[in-house]
Amino acid sequence: MADRTPKPFPWADQWPEIVDPRVRAAFAAVPRAAFVPEHLVRLADQDAPLPIGEGQTISQPFVIALMVQALELKPGDKVLEIGAGSGYQTAILCELTATEDEKPGARVYAIERFPSLAERAAARLARLGYAPHLRVGDGAYGWPEAAPFDAIIVSAAAPHIPRPLWEQLAEGGRMVLPFGEFDDNQQLLLIRKINGHMHVERLGGVRFVPMVSPLFDDPEQWAEL
Ligand code: SAH
């Protein structure tokens, strides 16, 4: 198993907004260099997105930190991730939900559309000792067999809120998603389910690759904001 001893992460001094010590510890524990293509390893410590193949990117660490901090994850929470990409954020989620009696990742369900990316992500995660459930597919439909989820994190811009994701969110659960068309004015939304109702908070402007799914062609499959 690779070294996961916490060390100060490269952006520690630049993130005054990230105040949750568990989130900071998770970033200290996961080596980003292990999740970027070999020819870009020298750029892994930059707080910026990088290409990972298939026209996709590994997210900017600060944006991941904002998203996972908003989810208020506790050990043992069950979390669904749409768009695992490189697997880097998946590893962060494994750290934040880990309990003492299970392998880190036992409560993490991650979906990725591109088989090639999913395969690479799975290999990297396993090498570092993480054991999330990872599958290839269209994340807009969620993972019904494993629902409900305490938290759902969407890493690609969604033009609508997929109804299946809303339905698979537990009562009291939190979902973060970049909302808007690609290249457009995307807003990061924090959605909470309180007494079955949707409460929405805007966390700011972001820029993500598009979430691709036939679900968006069917208005019946959209959850109303
Ligand atoms: N957090 C990831 C982000 C990867 S980019 C990282 O840091 O590596 C977003 C990913 O979402 C891409 O890999 C893309 O293939 C994936 N994606 C887009 N639409 C999807 C869908 N409908 N279902 C699953 N994955 C999707």
Which segment of 86-90, 93-97, 177-181, 192-196 scores lowest on mean pLDDT?
Answer: 177-181
How confident is the model over 57-116, as pLDDT tens digits?
999 999 999 999 999 999 999 999 999 999 999 999 999 999 999 999 999 999 999 999
Spatial CA neighbour of 204 closest among 89, 69, 107: 69
Q: Which fold has domain 21-223?
A: Rossmann fold (3.40.50)
Confirm if 25 and 69 have CB atoms less than 8 A apart.
no
How confident is the model over 123-157, as pLDDT tens digits?
999 999 999 999 999 999 999 999 999 999 999 99
Beta strand pairing call for 79-82 and 108-112: parallel
Q: Is the pLDDT of residue 6 over 60?
A: no
Catalytic status, residue 59: yes
Secondary structure (3-state) at 54: coil
Q: In the numeric block, which tokens belong to residue 118?
A: 């999913």
Q: Is 141 in the pocket of ligand 1 (CB under 6 A)?
A: no
Note the pLDDT of residue 12.
76
Task: Look at the chain and count its residues.
Answer: 225
Q: Is 209 in the pocket of ligand 1 (CB under 6 A)?
A: yes
Q: Measured in angstroms, how far is the CA atom of residue 117 from the centroid of ligand 1?
A: 9
Note the pLDDT of residue 4.
58
In whole angstroms, what is the distance from residue 194 CA to residue 86 CA?
Answer: 32
Q: Is 82 in the pocket of ligand 1 (CB under 6 A)?
A: yes
Q: Is 31 in the pocket of ligand 1 (CB under 6 A)?
A: no
Q: Calculate the CA 134 to chain-centre distance.
A: 12
Radius of gyration of the chain (CA): 16
Q: Is the pLDDT of residue 1 over 90?
A: no
Closest C-alpha residue for ligand 1 atom 15: 113
> What is the residue extent of each domain of the chain?
21-223
- Return the biggest CA–CA distance within the chain: 49
